Amino acid sequence: MKVTKEIILSKKSKEKLVALTAYTYPIAKIIDEFCDIILVGDSLGMTIYGMKDTVDVSLEMMINHGKAVTKACQKSFTVVDLPCGSYEQSKYQALESAKKIIEETKCDAIKIEVDKSLITTLEFLVKNNINVMGHVGLLPQSVRKIGGYHYQGTNHSSAQEILETAILVEEAGAFSLVIEAVPADLATKISQTITIPTIGIGASLECDGQILVIDDLLGLNQEFKPRFVNNYEELAQKISQAVENFADDVRSKKFPKKNNLYHFQY
C-alpha cells in the first residue's frame, strides 16, 4: 500500500502518477494493479445515481462506496471525496466528516475542493492528522453557482487566483493537488511552482499525474463528454450489443441452453 511520502516523492523522481476513480468493488479490484491512486469521487452522483451534478451527493453515499473500494484495494493509495455540505459550515464539521469517512472506509486520505476561504479548514484537517488532497480550478460542487461546467482561469485575474490558492493549499499541508479544467499553461505553472504532486484532469501534460473518471475512460458515459476525456474503450456499445443478443436468445427460446440448467430425476 502506498503512503503519502511515496506520493510526494514521485514529483522528485518525475515518475508520473496514475489515478482513476472507482465506486465499486469489482472495478476497484481490476484497476488496483495499475493505479497509484484510486479516488472514490463524488462523481458517483452522476455515474451511479443519475444525478445532474455532484451537489446532492451525501456523506453516506461516499462512505458506502468507499467501503467497497478500499476493501478491493491491495496496492493503490485510496482517497475519498468530502461531499458538498459536509465541510463548508466550519472546520469542525469538516474534521468530523473526514474522521467519519476514514474510520468507516479505512481509506488513506480525503479530497476537498478548495478556494481561499477554505484554506484554514484544510490546515485544521492536516493538523489533526488527516491526509488531505486539495482540488482547485473547476470545482464540480460549485457548478450551480457558476452556471455549469466551464474552464476556469481563462483570464489573468482568475488564473492568478487559482495559482495563489494552489500555493496556499501546499502551505496548509496538503500532500497533493488535483487541478481540473484550467488552461495548460496555468496548470504547468502551478506544477512548476509548488513542490507537492499535481494531478491533472483537463489541465496539462506537465502535471505530475493524471486522473480520469473510470466511466469516461471505458466509454460508458454517453451523455457527458468533456473535451479532456479520452475513451480508451467503448463499452457502452459492447454492453448494448451483449444485452441485445441476450434478449434475442430469450425471445427465440435459444436461452437457457441445456448446459445452463440443472436437471434432477424425480
- For residue 220, the SS3 value is coil
| CA-CA-CA-CA torsion sign (202, 41, 226, 36) | positive
Asked if omega into 256 is within 30° of 0 (cis), the reply is yes
Compute the distance between CA of residue 86 and CA of residue 93 in angstroms, rounded to an integer: 7
Nearest to 107 by CA among 121, 115, 120, 97: 97
| Angle at the Cα of 184 from the Cα atoms of 168 and 54, rounded to 5 degrees | 65
Neighbours of 256 (CB within 10 A): 10
| Catalytic one of 180, 206, 233, 234 | 180
- For residue 230, the SS3 value is coil
* Residue 180 designated active-site: yes
Residues annotated as part of the active site: 180
